[in-house]
Amino acid sequence: MKLTPRQQNILRATVRHYVRTAEPVGSKALASGYDLQVSSATIRNVMSALEDSGLLYQPHTSAGRIPSDSGYRTYVDELMPLSSSVVNPLTRQIEATLNQRIGWNGQAMEALLQESAQVLASLSGYIALVTMPQRTQAKIKYVQIVRVNDEQLLLVVIDTCNNHSILMSYQADAQAKLGIASTGNFETDAAESQPVNERELQILSNFLTDQLKGKSLTEVDLDWSEIDQAFRRYARHLQQAMVDLAKRSHTNPATQILISGLAEVLDQPEFSERSQIRSIVTLLEDGRDQLWPLISTADLTNTQRLRIWIGTENPLAPMQSCALVTSTYGQAPGPVGSLGVLGPTRMLYENAVAAVEAAANYLTDAVAGTLEIG
């Protein structure tokens, strides 16, 4: 339906009034609160036409009207761009707030993203979701084999997925929990327990770096038979080490969604009933595999950063009373992660879009040097 300028003005006013009050909107409220320059009777007739077209509806016959999912979609696609002069300064203001409140100085990537999610939730008033960088982008930069003692070696693989790189090897799970490293050890057999030669380890480290640089752990495909005889005693252990590291890199991406701000939406009248909020909580806690396709960077490019899912456009039943605004962060050749806000369809879309875009811009700048992608 092609809206006339008058219909556009009245739909825009209806959406904004309902977002502000959470009460069905009547013609008198619009006539007195907005400079529409038409009578209440004219507004009533226009609202009736908008209802006939499916953009508004009446929850009760004696009540005013509220926007439908289609009404919100029309507002977002056709009417909200008229407010772009407001959105851009708001985006810059939120970016400045992110810089002031986070002030990232190179701590662990997860700490940066978790704090960003908390600030995004606080600024938007909605649930914030941020994904960790997707590890398919991580490329090996450097390989080092370090002598621990005559019977133990430490394999270190540094890739492009952390500010100081991610130390990946076999053991120190405690470090991994801190986001510092994933480590492990491998031991030589008794028959192979010749003294470890530091020079051999350095030569072998250089060889592996040269062969594996630019590949991901899942792409490692070395012909270990090509390794000189002097290094054969390390080959079997290194091969198993690489296999174990590749397995560890295959984490379920859905577990990499950081969530903050559930308390932010509890004050929203849409979630006043316990059953309504319970379904959202269950989805966020136990249904992240289902949520992942909506927020992941799959099939997106830098030219299609922003997506908005409204009400029944969401394929997941618990979200069909909600709106989800998402964007991506990371630079060319493609995005490396996503973030978004989840709230009721009665969302202040201008502010939600501004907050999401600001957070995406901030994270893109913050991780640019860290991820070294592009």
Q: Is residue 118 located within the same domain as residue 266?
A: yes
Amino acid identity of residue 109, one-letter, is M
Q: Within 10 A of 174 (CB to CB), how many other CB atoms are there?
A: 10
Q: Are 113 and 167 in contact (CB under 8 A)?
A: no
Say whether 193 sits in a helix, a strand or coil.
Answer: coil
What beta strand segments (E) does 150-263 contain?
152-159, 167-170, 181-184, 186-187, 257-260
Q: Is residue 367 located within the same domain as residue 261?
A: yes
Q: What pLDDT is recorded for position 194?
A: 55
| Last residue within a domain, chosen from 249, 269, 299 | 249
In a domain, 319, yes or no: yes
In a domain, 74, yes or no: no
Length of the chain: 374
Counts for the chain of helices (H) and strands (E), in that order = 13, 12
Q: How far apart are CA 267 and CA 167, in angstroms?
A: 43
Q: How far apart are CA 52 and CA 308, in angstroms?
A: 25
Q: Are 168 and 143 in contact (CB under 8 A)?
A: no
Q: How far apart are CA 120 and CA 122, in angstroms?
A: 5
Q: What pLDDT is recorded for position 128?
A: 95
CA distances 146 to 161, 164, 198, 249, Å, are 21, 18, 8, 21
In a domain, 77, yes or no: no
Examine residue 333 and say whether the peptide bond preceding it is cis (omega within 30 degrees of 0). Answer: yes
Nearest to residue 47, comparing CAs of 32, 26, 61, 31? 26
The backbone torsions φ and ψ at residue 151, rounded to the nearest 5 degrees and listed phi first, read -115, -5
CATH (domain of 263): 3.30.450.40
β-pair partners for 66: 57
Q: Is residue 206 located within the same domain as residue 315?
A: no
Q: How far apart are CA 315 and CA 224, in angstroms?
A: 48
> DSSP states of 24-67 as a string?
-B-HHHHHHHS---S-HHHHHHHHHHHHHTTSEE-SSTTS-BEE
CA atoms within 13 A on the CB side of 49: 15
Q: How far apart are CA 186 and CA 189, in angstroms?
A: 10
Say whether 275 sits in a helix, a strand or coil.
Answer: helix
Amino acid identity of residue 228, one-letter, is D
- Structural domain count of the chain: 3
Beta strand 257-260 with 127-131: parallel, antiparallel or unpaired?
antiparallel
Q: What pLDDT is recorded for position 288?
A: 84
Q: What pLDDT is recorded for position 93?
A: 81
**Per-residue pLDDT tens for 189-230?**
443 445 557 888 888 888 888 888 887 777 777 766 666 666
pLDDT of the chain along its 374 residues, tens only? 789 999 999 999 999 999 999 999 999 999 999 989 999 999 999 999 999 999 999 988 777 999 999 999 999 999 986 444 555 677 888 888 888 887 666 667 788 889 899 999 988 899 999 998 875 556 778 888 887 776 677 888 877 654 333 333 333 333 333 333 344 444 444 434 455 578 888 888 888 888 888 877 777 777 666 666 667 667 767 777 777 777 666 555 656 789 999 887 877 888 877 777 888 888 988 888 888 888 876 555 555 688 999 999 999 998 999 999 999 998 756 678 899 999 999 999 999 999 999 999 889 888 776 655 43
Q: What pLDDT is recorded for position 199?
A: 82
Q: Is the pTM of this model over 0.85?
A: no
Q: What pLDDT is recorded for position 167?
A: 36
Q: Is residue 258 located within the same domain as residue 364?
A: yes
| Last residue within a domain, chosen from 201, 229, 249 | 249
CATH (domain of 197): 3.30.390.60
In a domain, 184, yes or no: yes
Q: Which two tokens stand for residue 330?
A: 């990371």
Q: What pLDDT is recorded for position 344?
A: 93
Helix (H), strand (E) at residue 242: helix 232-249
Q: What pLDDT is recorded for position 143?
A: 86
